[in-house]
Amino acid sequence: MLIDGKAIAEQIHAETKAEVGKLAARKVQPGLALVRVGEDPASVVYVGAKGKACERLGIHSQNFILPEATSQPELLALIDTLNKSPRFHGILVQSPLPKQINEELIFQTVSPAKDVDGFHPINVGKLLMGETDGFWPCTPAGIQQLLIRSGVQIEGSHVVVVGRSNIVGKPVAAILMQKAKHADATVTVCHSRTRNLPEVTRTADILVAAMGRPKAITADMVRDGAVVIDVGVNRIPDASRPKGERLVGDVDFDAVKEKAAKITPVPGGVGPMTIAMLLHNTVQACRQQTAR
Amino acid sequence: MLIDGKAIAEQIHAETKAEVGKLAARKVQPGLALVRVGEDPASVVYVGAKGKACERLGIHSQNFILPEATSQPELLALIDTLNKSPRFHGILVQSPLPKQINEELIFQTVSPAKDVDGFHPINVGKLLMGETDGFWPCTPAGIQQLLIRSGVQIEGSHVVVVGRSNIVGKPVAAILMQKAKHADATVTVCHSRTRNLPEVTRTADILVAAMGRPKAITADMVRDGAVVIDVGVNRIPDASRPKGERLVGDVDFDAVKEKAAKITPVPGGVGPMTIAMLLHNTVQACRQQTAR
């Protein structure tokens, strides 16, 4: 009943590692450039975790850490160099970027062929059009894998996505509505302007909570037997914890788990999948760029 | 209660013509290249209508008619020439293309800056991401204009789109779900795999029928007071007509009009909007390419 994101991410890591082994047999090693600007604490943690995961799987990674005051032309110049470098098949620019830098422009500058985050508009467009030769953003692709690998029937289901961000809500809707295996769902996208949200969420066979509001999905909003995917990562005060806070999702887990057929925990649900799909994409990029 | 697509298209034509006049004041005339391959009868009609509409509005247009047997490299070479030509700010390649030509590749070859059809993946990606500097596909943009200009409140409404094509269903869903004025709707995308379709369509405040099946939306599928947009263009046998056939939409108009608050007819509803938005996009392309 609990969807174990850690265990599923490990399955994918094992598959990715096997692919890395096949590439090694022809003297190719995937390379991922990790670009971070400034010292945002969460970004330091995320980039560190991505580097470690690469190491564990035999993927070459290198950190490019620029100071907070980096100008946009300086960052563009670095991306240009990385776009041309044969040592890196994937480029990840950690968000958020400092205010003086136009994030939209940066994501458009990363070569679409190395855009393992799936944030370039050309990859987003291919995703919506159902073309299969682009990169999918990691968190939405990870959500689909969680569903597939925990035996959830997606085809014909009603998926309700709450939240319409560019990194989760809109792309996960786009993935699951396609005419394709492990998709083919009826998809509803809800958000802050949705009228009578509980009525809509109660029609979901699969509910994806991605609005970034702690415990906002309460038990009365979930149908008995629904599958619930919680994408939220919220820190709330908790005096009983050493750090004075703890991590909760967008779902009121303790209450909703009594109704849901399957549910992801936070942490240990969607979170681990994002890195797993990033490394999967990096190996795919390497295969495409070194195809003979 | 009838949404008059012809009249609304004329309003937009008048606005576009005024923009053409402003450009003329600085000695600039928008140019649209109309590319057709082969003699598909519908394509002959469509390209002809687009050329005439250009003429009426003072937009320069030129037909590039290639034989059915044109090879893909030949068509690519023409598009390359048109991409570079300062005389054409917009390029339209009429679909469908003959079998020997990969349509997906052709649409990706048209310069995104001249892609007035809004079919290039980079423009589709910008659309889904809510970026406003790309081109929107004409039929979905026209549907939004029909709603706006007939006084339909889109914000907070539940829009149900039936059909998930790349030219209508998916992009109209993407337009109407954005956090933006005249959007901000809760959007559901339905299709051939949707379970209990009538139950879903009955929840629609605004129902967009775009599945390409004559009269498939029956009265029992529509809620009293819903707004119904019929994108279907189907020819059905009708012995009483001179041509032995007539045009019907995807909606059973005679029955549904009794329940709908507003409804588009076929013909004369969505159809005229597509050309109106094409010319609007062409003038926008011209302004962007000649901005000083």
Active site residues of B: 50, 94, 117
Nearest chain A residue to B168, by CA? A129
- For A27-113, the fitting CATH number among 3.30.360.10, 3.60.20.10, 3.40.50.10860, 3.40.50.720 is 3.40.50.10860
The answer to whether B128 contacts A155, with C-beta atoms less than 8 Å apart, is: no
User: If you average pLDDT over every residue of chain A, what do you get?
Assistant: 97
Whether A130 has its CB under 8 Å from any CB of chain B: the answer is: yes
Residue B154 near residue B128, CB atoms below 8 Å = no
Residue A97 φ/ψ, nearest 5 degrees: -100, 155
Give me the CATH code for the A138-272 domain, please. Answer: 3.40.50.720
Q: What is the per-residue pLDDT for A132?
A: 93
Q: How confident is the model at residue A99 (pLDDT cuts 50, 70, 90)?
A: very high
Nearest-angstrom CA–CA distance, A168 and A127: 13
Contact A211, A232 (CB under 8 A): yes
Work out the average pLDDT over B213-230: 98
Closest CA to B107 of B144, B133, B72, B140: B72
CA angle A106, A109, A113 (to 5 degrees): 125
User: For residue A193, with 0-12 CB atoms within 10 Å meaning exposed, 13-18 middle and 19 or more buried, which class applies?
Assistant: middle
Element (DSSP H or E) covering residue A273: helix A271-290
Q: Is the dihedral of CA A143, A145, A147, A153 positive or negative?
A: positive
ipTM of the modeled complex? 0.97
Please report the DSSP string for A135-200 in residue order: PPPHHHHHHHHHHHHTT---TT-EEEEE---TTTHHHHHHHHHSSSTT---EEEEE-TT-TTHHHH
For tokens 């009429």, name the residue. Answer: B94
pLDDT in tens, A105-156: 999 999 999 999 999 999 999 999 999 999 999 999 999 999 999 999 999 9
Query: Would the CB atoms of A125 and B130 count as touching at under 8 Å?
Result: no
The alpha carbon of residue B271 is apart from the nearest alpha carbon of chain A, in Å, by 22
Interface test with B, best of A189, A201, A207 (most B CBs within 10 A): A189
**Set of chain A residues whose Cβ sits within 8 Å of the Cβ of B174:** 128, 170
Comparing alpha-carbon positions, the chain A residue that sits nearest to B129 is: A166
Which residue ranges make up each domain of chain B? 26-111, 138-272
Phi, psi of A38, deg, nearest 5: 90, -175
Quote the minimal CA–CA distance from B182 to chain A in Å.
12
Distance CA A86, CA A285 (A): 12
Task: Pick from A106, A111, A117, A128 the residue to mutate for testing the B interface (most B CBs within 10 Å).
Answer: A128
C-beta of residue A121 within 8 angstroms of C-beta of residue A110: no
Q: How far is CA B22 from the centre of its chain?
A: 25
B26-111 shares its CATH topology with B138-272: yes
Mean pLDDT of B148-173: 98
Of A131, A174, A187, the CB nearest to B128: A174
From residue B183, how far is each of A15, A64, A163, B151, B157 by CA, in Å? 42, 40, 15, 13, 9
Could you tell me how many CB contacts below 8 A there are between chain A and chain B? Answer: 120
Instruction: Map residue A67 onto helix, strand or coil.
Output: coil
Does A123 contact B at CB distance below 8 Å?
Answer: yes
Residue A177: closest C-alpha in chain B: B189
∠ CA(A76), CA(A78), CA(A80), 5° rounding? 70
B-facing residues of A in 166-205 (CB < 8 A) are: 166, 170-171, 173-174, 177-179, 184-195, 200
- Nearest-angstrom CA–CA distance, A92 and A97: 12
* A171 closest CA partner among A221, A215, A218, A119: A119
**Beta-carbon separation of A156 and B187 below 8 A:** no
Q: Report the residue count for chain A.
A: 292
**Share of residues in chain B with pLDDT > 90 (%):** 99
B124–A120: do the CB atoms touch at under 8 Å?
no
Binary contact (B125, A124; C-beta < 8 A)? yes
Chain B residue with the nearest C-alpha to that of A170: B128
How far apart are the C-alpha atoms of A77 and A284, rounded to whole Å? Answer: 25
Enumerate the residues of chain A whose CB falls inside 8 A of the CB of residue B106: none
Q: Indicate which of B158, B177, B196, B211 best probes the interface with A, i.e. most A CBs within 10 Å of its own CB.
A: B177
Contacts with B20 (C-beta within 8 Å, 6 or more apart), sequence order: B29, B30, B57, B58, B59, B283
Shortest CA gap A165–chain B (Å): 8
Comparing alpha-carbon positions, the chain B residue that sits nearest to A188 is B188
Cβ-defined contact of B164 to A179 (cutoff 8 Å): yes
**Contact residues on chain B for A124, CB-CB shorter than 8 A:** 124-126, 128-129
Q: What angle in degrees, to the nearest 10, is found between the helix axes of B121-129 and A121-129?
A: 90
State how far the Cα of B147 lies from the Cα of B151, in Å rounded to an integer.
6
Instruction: Let me know: does A172 contact A189? Beta carbons within 8 Å.
Output: no
Query: pLDDT at position A292, please?
Result: 73
pLDDT per position as a tens digit, A174-212: 999 999 999 999 999 999 999 999 999 999 999 999 999
Q: Inter-chain contact B186–A189, Cβ cutoff 8 Å?
A: yes
What CA–CA distance (Å, rounded) separates A14 from A20? Answer: 10
Closest Cβ–Cβ partner in B125, B177, B190 for A164: B177
Structure tokens at B103: 């349509």
Residue with tokens 């529509």: B222
Q: What are the start-end ranges of the E strands in B134-178?
A: 158-162
**Of B214, B193, B190, nearest in space to B203 by CA:** B190
Q: Test B124 with A128 for CB contact under 8 angstroms.
A: yes
Mean pLDDT score, B93-118: 97
Half-sphere exposure of A274 (CA within 13 A, CB side): 18
CATH class of the domain defined by B26-111? alpha beta
The pLDDT of residue B103 is 95
Residue type, A167: I
Which of A119, A193, A196, A203 is the mutation pick for testing B, counting most B CBs within 10 A? A193
Radius of gyration of the CA atoms of chain B, in A: 19
Q: Which residues of A touch B190 (CB under 8 A)?
A: 186
Separation between Cα atoms, residue B125 and residue B131, nearest integer Å? 9
pLDDT for the residue numbered A92: 98
- In b/e form, how buried is each residue of A120-141, taking b as 16+ CB within 10 angstroms? bbbbbbbbbbbbeebbbbbbbb
pLDDT of amino acid B204: 98
Q: Does residue B122 sit at the A interface (CB-CB below 8 Å)?
A: yes
B292 pLDDT higher than 80? no
Contacting A residues, span 136-165, partner chain B, CB-CB under 8 Å: 155-156, 158, 164
Chain-chain contact of B171 with A126 (C-beta, under 8 angstroms): no
Q: Are A282 and A32 in contact (CB under 8 A)?
A: yes
Rg of chain A over Cα atoms, rounded to whole angstroms, equals 19
How many helices and strands in chain A, by DSSP H and E? Answer: 10, 10
Chain B within 8 Å of A128 (Cβ-Cβ)?
Answer: yes
